[in-house]
Structure 1
């Protein structure tokens, strides 16, 4: 986790970590993740909103979500909602492509992966 241009409270970091740990229930192959916490308007000494950005690495895919709100906790909740949806959709697409029903349908239609010999290329 990275707090950009400020020091984040340990209780906030623990809150975000606990939320992110729950993502394993939606996708079991998360490789890594990064969190960036930013203060919008920090340069003018009047913080307008708090921004939470999360980048997750999955096999063959990178997910990035950015949300802002009045507090880091509520922005984190909004990020989690979007990430849950994205993870479920990504896992569903992955399962759809490799599902036995699709493989069987492709083979029945005669759609198979063609294999070419070196002299045919």
Structure 2
């Protein structure tokens, strides 16, 4: 499993990177054939005082790609919400595959 974490418009603190890596390890519990995971952490409205934190996650599995984008006032919350969405997508896909088999 190859994990890429990219930050846009800022430098991430080591605690944020550790939080992301710790949570990503849990994805192996839901699918064992994950090839790559791309995480993008972005600041929105850079020109204004209010800065929303955006987390985007893209998970690649052979023949499938899952994507989620969440926005909130903290990167941890945005990332956790996006990860929950990815987990739901993976669960739904596995359920459909099992019903088809």
TM-score between both structures, scaled by the size of structure 1: 0.75
Matches within 5 A, 1:67-86: 67-86=70-89
Residue 58 of structure 2 aligns to a residue in which SS?
Answer: strand
Question: Could you tell me whether the CA contact under 8 Å between 2:8 and 2:41 is conserved in 1?
Answer: yes
Partner residue of 2:61 out of 48, 58, 61: 58
Structure with larger RCO (C-alpha < 8 A, sep 6+): 2
1:1-121 correspondence to structure 2 within 5 Å? 1-42=5-46, 44-98=47-101
Q: TM-score when scaled to structure 2?
A: 0.89
- Structure 1 residue runs without a partner (length 5+): 99-121
Deviation for aligned residue 1:45: 4.8
> Residue 39 of structure 1 contacts residue 47 of structure 1 at CA under 8 Å; is this kept in 2?
no
**Across the two proteins, how many residue pairs are aligned to each other?**
97
More helix by share: 1
* 3-state SS in 2 of match to 1:52: strand
Assess if the C-alpha contact under 8 Å between 1:65 and 1:82 holds in 2.
yes
